[in-house]
Structure 1
């Protein structure tokens, strides 16, 4: 029975994977909200009890997952990245965050605003108030502190384009056709970088892939689960 280890994105928690966890009884979500360095995040993944596992990462968690698979190849049976590329922090997002840092450091940051959510979600997803509320809720009352720690750990993330082809496990990359944060083009680049990579771009989907298209994501993960 394959084990699944899920890594959330920035300001997300285990609820990001609420549609996936019930599908796989042998699974765990690694909390990436408390660490302020990449090394500490990687250590948290390393400490999971499974000897080897399918590693699934979304957005920031997708970057951490790539770094982990490159460093600890013997632990990863299959790498799945969603809404995450090899190309470092998205430049436009990095610019927005840099401008917002004074507000974040001042403790005034409360999470993603509804206006910003329009950039993250497909219009059909944005029209669902329960989805918007979930994303707001995941940020938590300590959003400013969590965000600062995660930025400190990953804002300077490396471009892994020249290294990702060295991973020894199979790789599946999933992106949203309408993702304005991590473009579909940057996800499709995995086809050129990783031999035999499986890349899927989902229609009517923005950045929050596991929440916007859960049925398709589950189908893909079940296909991986059934591999020998």
Structure 2
């Protein structure tokens, strides 16, 4: 069994550390770096170039949206699709304006990583004192240049919902959200679930947006169970 992991916005392979370490004991794993892609097409091509002809695709946040787009374009490559903390819905006007403001700022400034104020939005309050989590998130984000930030942001700025297309495809789909996620809210996850009613779905308690880091054991368990139940050769 082969699994391809897609990190989220401003993330790299470290966001999947626990999942890769655990699942690679039984499965082939690969984490793709999307940070240097110039646009959505480049991100999709990165997945096209994955090591195996068929694989299970797992995407977190931005990577979850990229995974949905890839699945509709290249369904023959997938044995399953797992969408983690990602809705696939169009951005709200508030989110669009916020991203446009950030674009204006970064045209003349250097991006320096996630701030403490932003951190409080991204993770559950009980995890704010966990330096292992917060230091990693800051370190990953700070390694992105302003150009990398803007390319990733623009790549998924104008989103299209692919719910009906995904519902019509025949590979298994897993949706995982967090009950306290303020970035991709439970309501947005519920819209995704309603749009793809055949998908298996789970909501994780006492967790913010960074599910792979905040609830690594629980997420790994859900993935392991889903993947082994849907295992095929290849």
Question: Which of the five TM-score ranges fits, normalised by the shorter chain?
Answer: over 0.9
Query: 1:8 is matched with which residue?
Result: 7
What is the TM-score normalised by the length of structure 2?
0.91
Query: 1:147 is matched with which residue?
Result: 149
Query: 2:17 is matched with which residue?
Result: 18
Query: 1:53 is matched with which residue?
Result: 55
Distance in 2, matches of 1:209 and 1:189, equals: 19
What is the TM-score normalised by the length of structure 1?
0.94
Q: For each residue in 1:44-96, what CA deviation from the matched residue of structure 2 results, as whole angstroms up to 9, or x when unmatched?
A: 00101111111000010000000011111111111001110121235543332
Q: For each residue in 1:77-122, what CA deviation from the matched residue of structure 2 results, as whole angstroms up to 9, or x when unmatched?
A: 1100111012123554333222222221223321211101101110
1:30 has 2:48 as partner: no
Distance in 2, matches of 1:133 and 1:181, equals: 19
**Counterparts in 2 of 1:1-228, with a 5 A limit?**
2-25=1-24, 26-89=28-91, 91-227=93-229, 228=231
| Equivalent pairs, count | 227
For structure 2, the 5+ residue unaligned runs are none
Q: For each residue in 1:156-197, what CA deviation from the matched residue of structure 2 results, as whole angstroms up to 9, or x when unmatched?
A: 122223433223211111111001111112112233222421
Distance in 2, matches of 1:201 and 1:92, equals: 25
C-alpha change, 1:28 and 1:91, in structure 2 (3 Å) is farther
User: What is the root-mean-square deviation in Å for CA atoms of aligned residues?
Assistant: 1.5
User: How far apart are residue 152 of structure 1 and its match?
Assistant: 2.3
Q: For each residue in 1:199-220, what CA deviation from the matched residue of structure 2 results, as whole angstroms up to 9, or x when unmatched?
A: 1110001101111111110111
Distance in 2, matches of 1:91 and 1:178, equals: 22
Q: For each residue in 1:9-36, what CA deviation from the matched residue of structure 2 results, as whole angstroms up to 9, or x when unmatched?
A: 1100000001101122210001101111
Distance in 2, matches of 1:77 and 1:7, equals: 16
